[in-house]
Every structure is written in structure tokens, then in C-alpha cells.
Amino acid sequence: MVWGCVTDFFTYETTKSVVVKSWSVGIVNRIVQLFIITYFVGWVFIYEKAYQVSDTGIESSVMTKVKGYGYHHNRVMDVADYVFPQQGAAVFCIITKLILTENQFQGKCAESMTQFSCNTDEDCASYYGSYLSNGVITGVCLKEGNDSRGQCEIEGWCPAEKETKIKPMLDVKNFTIFIKNSIRFPLFNVIRGNFPSTMTSAEIKSCTYHPEKRPFCPIFRVGDVLNFTGQTVEDLANKGGEIGINIEWKCNLDLNIEKCVPRYSFTRLDAPFAKNAVSKGFNFRFAKYFKTENGTEFRTLHKAFAIRFDVMVTGKAGKFDTIPTLINLVAAFTSIGLGTVICDVILLNFLKGAEQYKAKKFEEVSEAQIEASLPQSPETPLSLKTGIKSSYDSGAISLSTSDQPI
């Protein structure tokens, strides 16, 4: 009994096949198979690299350093004056225009903006709580001399900031940005830097990035960067703006690691907002604080129009791995079987002698037949043909061992 189970277990089950020796179906079959194989090899495996596992969780560290001198407010501005924040972060601003409001003390004074002009105190009371003024609206209308029209009074840092026209610092176009970017693909523990280790110190110092001629030089001229994005220095320097410097790492780690190099691209980040008239450009306010001899604090307010640079690093690395390869191979092989479906349609419907092929492929058993054979069980010609009375290879075993093509 146990021995029977064992012998039944070590049987081998293979599908019974019908081999059709027909040129038409045979050729169609092989053409369909060829087409499917070509698709998988060409597109899935070679182009889309479906045999690789990929790591998109790139880990990146960016250090930047700006160099250059510019004239603004009759002064020479250097890095400590115009870069913000100064410590060389991935996101930094180069100030191109400063509107200075010097010697501001806490107190009350007239608002400078014309939209806060007034005839009476009531006019000003209507502006209570406004955040567009340069301080807290007190509700008083300040008039000079005999003027019938005055300006609302504000409380805060006085005098109020005045919008003045001033020429931006166009020297910015000659400034250079040095970018040091080191990345890591955690999945493969691959570490790379954005300039090749064969580059000498002298080469790095003297070069300027050029997309074709010097694609790996880590020094970028601001004017060039703005040009790459299709912007003019004049426009950006005046209103400020946001520029994205994208470093893209697309690495095929099955190849030589030296081929894992960055690719730079440049975009104007406020582009999606170009249609909206609001908040064009980029500016922010900061203050320098001083103290008088007697200890009263005062400040110089700076409204800074700046070009903000965002160094954004994206990356993807791929490397051969068994799991995706296997899954895709199985998908490929299984897809080849799809050819059979098409050929079956042709064979069983459109070919001369389709009915005969059907008869060959399909063997019919109806309930009636089975029932007829049941009462007089072992003597029927049907049961004589079987000879598997001792078969224990039920469907249940079939499930666990999956001999069936599932």
C-alpha cells in the first residue's frame, strides 16, 4: 500500500501532444514565436533592461562654492556679501539687487507706499490688519504741513522701506559656481563623485562647463547656466528667479563603473508659474542689526532680489539580478506559448480539414457515456482501455506537484 504510494509519486506526467505536419500552420507558428522572441529580447531585455534590479533611492551630498566680484551701490560685493546662505549648501542664492533701508529704528512713521495714502483717520482704519504695509497700521493719517492728502501711520521699523529703481549687479553673469557632488546608491553601495578622479587640480581650476566640450567640468559660469535655460541675465538679475541645476546619474553597473557619470541639465524652476502674473521672480528680506552708543538697536533692512540655484540630484542605477531576470524570462517563455492560441484558431477554423484536426485534438467524454459505462463497470470496452485502476495520481496530488500547465 505504502509502496504503491511511493511508486505513484515517482511517476512522470507529460502532456500528450498532437503534432500537425502542415506547412501553413507550421510557418505561422514559427513566425509568431519569432516575433514574440524578438520583442522580448529587443525591447524588454536590451532596451528596458528588465533583467536588472534598479535602485532609485540615491543618497547625495552637494557642496557649492561661488566666486566672483561685482559692483553694486558703489561698492565691491564679494562672496560673503552676496551669497546666501554662506556655507555652500545645495540651495543657495546669489543676490543681484539690493534695496537698502538704512538706520531703521522701532517707532511710528508714515507708510511709504502710495496705496496707503489717506484723507482722514477713518481711511487708515480700513487697512487695520493689512500685511501689505511695512508695519502695523495704527489708524492715524499723517499729513505734512497743509497737504489735504497724507499717508497712514505705521508702527514698527521706521522709516518704511521705499521701492526704488536701482541697476542690478550684472557682473553676476561672470561669477562661477563650483559644484562638488558625491552620491551613493545604497542598494549596491556604489559611491561616485561628479568629476573623474583622473582630473587634475589644474584642470578643474581652469575649466568651465560646456555640455559637449567639457561635460564633466564642475565649474559653471552663471551666464552660461542662465543661457542654457533660455533666460537673459538682465531679466533675472532685476527681478530674481529660480534656476534648477539637475544632476542626473543613470548608471548601468553591469558596465565599467567609470561609465557611471553625471549629466547636467538646467531649468527655470518658476516656469510652471509663468502664466500666473503673481510673484514673478524671487526676493526676500533680511536685516543687519547695529547698536548705537547708548545701546539702542537699529538695523539696515535689505530687500534682496536674488537668483536662487537649486542643485537637485536624481539617479537610478541598475544591476543584473536573478529575480527580475527569472520573472521576465518566465513571462517571455509563457508568452511564446501565446503563439499556440493563434495557431489553434487557424488550425481548427480556417484550414482545410479543420474538422479532422478538431477530431484529433479534442477527445470528447460526455456524462451520458460515463453513466452508460458505470453499471456494468469492468466489462465495458471503455474500462478495458483504461488499466489505471490502481492510479492514485489524483488531481489533489497534481495540484501540489503542478504537472499541469498552469
Query: Footprint of its own copies on residues 328-347 (CB under 8 A)?
Result: 328, 330-331, 333-338, 340-347
Owner of C-alpha cell 513566425: 31
From 113-121, 139-147, 228-236, 320-328, span contacting its own copies (CB under 8 A) = 320-328
- What is the spatial distance between Cα 177 and Cα 90, in angstroms, rounded to a whole number? 11
- For its own copies, the closer of residues 254 and 290 by Cβ is 290
Instruction: Give strand pairing partners of 302.
Output: 100, 286
Site string for its own copies, 162-191 (x = CB under 8 A): ------------x-x-x-x-x-x-x----x
- For its own copies, the closer of residues 185 and 238 by Cβ is 185
φ, ψ at 97 (rounded to 5°): -155, 135
Q: How many residues bind its own copies (CB under 8 A)?
A: 186
- For its own copies, the closer of residues 149 and 230 by Cβ is 230
Provide the minimum distance between the beta carbon of 318 and its own copies in the complex, in angstroms, as a whole number. Answer: 13
- For its own copies, the closer of residues 119 and 322 by Cβ is 322
User: Should residue 157 be labelled a site residue for its own copies when binding is judged by CB under 8 A?
Assistant: yes
Q: Binding its own copies by CB under 8 A: which of 5, 9, 210, 257?
A: 9
Quickly count: other Cβ atoms within 10 Å of residue 238's Cβ: 18
Helix 322-345 vs helix 23-39: crossing angle, to nearest 10: 150
Cα angle, residue 250 at apex, residues 245 and 255 outer, rounded to 5°: 145
| Three-class DSSP category at 48 | coil
Cell digits for 132? 501689505
Sheet strands (E) in 122-162: 136-142, 150-158
User: Should residue 26 be labelled a site residue for its own copies when binding is judged by CB under 8 A?
Assistant: yes
Provide the minimum distance between the beta carbon of 30 and its own copies in the complex, in angstroms, as a whole number. Answer: 6
- What is the spatial distance between Cα 324 and Cα 322, in angstroms, rounded to a whole number? 6
Site string for its own copies, 28-67 (x = CB under 8 A): xxx--x---------xx---x-x-----xx-xxx-x-x-x
From the number of C-beta atoms within 10 Å of its C-beta (0-12, 13-18, 19+), residue 188 rates as middle
Site string for its own copies, 208-227 (x = CB under 8 A): --------------------
- For its own copies, the closer of residues 211 and 333 by Cβ is 333
Cell digits for 92? 543657495
How many residues are listed for the chain in this entry? 406
In what helix (H) or strand (E) does residue 386 lie, and over which residues does it extend?
Answer: helix 381-386
Instruction: Give strand pairing partners of 151.
Output: 117, 142
Provide the minimum distance between the beta carbon of 146 and its own copies in the complex, in angstroms, as a whole number. Answer: 30
DSSP string, 92-127: EEEEEEEEEEEEEEEEEEE--SGGGEESSHHHHHTT
- For its own copies, the closer of residues 149 and 163 by Cβ is 163
In what helix (H) or strand (E) does residue 201 lie, and over which residues does it extend?
Answer: helix 201-206
Site string for its own copies, 263-302 (x = CB under 8 A): ----x-xxxxxxxxxxx--x-xxxxxxxx-x-x-x-xxxx
User: Should residue 261 be labelled a site residue for its own copies when binding is judged by CB under 8 A?
Assistant: no
Q: Binding its own copies by CB under 8 A: which of 5, 41, 257, 370?
A: 370
- For its own copies, the closer of residues 119 and 293 by Cβ is 293
User: Should residue 395 be labelled a site residue for its own copies when binding is judged by CB under 8 A?
Assistant: yes
Provide the minimum distance between the beta carbon of 150 and its own copies in the complex, in angstroms, as a whole number. Answer: 21
**Among 229, 234, 232, residue whose Cα is nearest residue 246:** 229
- What is the spatial distance between Cα 79 and Cα 62, in angstroms, rounded to a whole number? 18
Provide the minimum distance between the beta carbon of 138 and its own copies in the complex, in angstroms, as a whole number. Answer: 10
- For its own copies, the closer of residues 254 and 297 by Cβ is 297
66-85 positions binding its own copies, by CB under 8 A: 67-69, 71, 75-76, 78-81, 84-85
- For its own copies, the closer of residues 26 and 149 by Cβ is 26
- For its own copies, the closer of residues 146 and 406 by Cβ is 406
Cell digits for 166? 536701482
In what helix (H) or strand (E) does residue 183 lie, and over which residues does it extend?
Answer: strand 176-185
**Among 102, 224, 94, residue whose Cα is nearest residue 160:** 102
Site string for its own copies, 84-123 (x = CB under 8 A): xxxxxxxx-x--------xx--x-----------------
In what helix (H) or strand (E) does residue 396 lie, and over which residues does it extend?
Answer: helix 395-401
- For its own copies, the closer of residues 120 and 240 by Cβ is 240
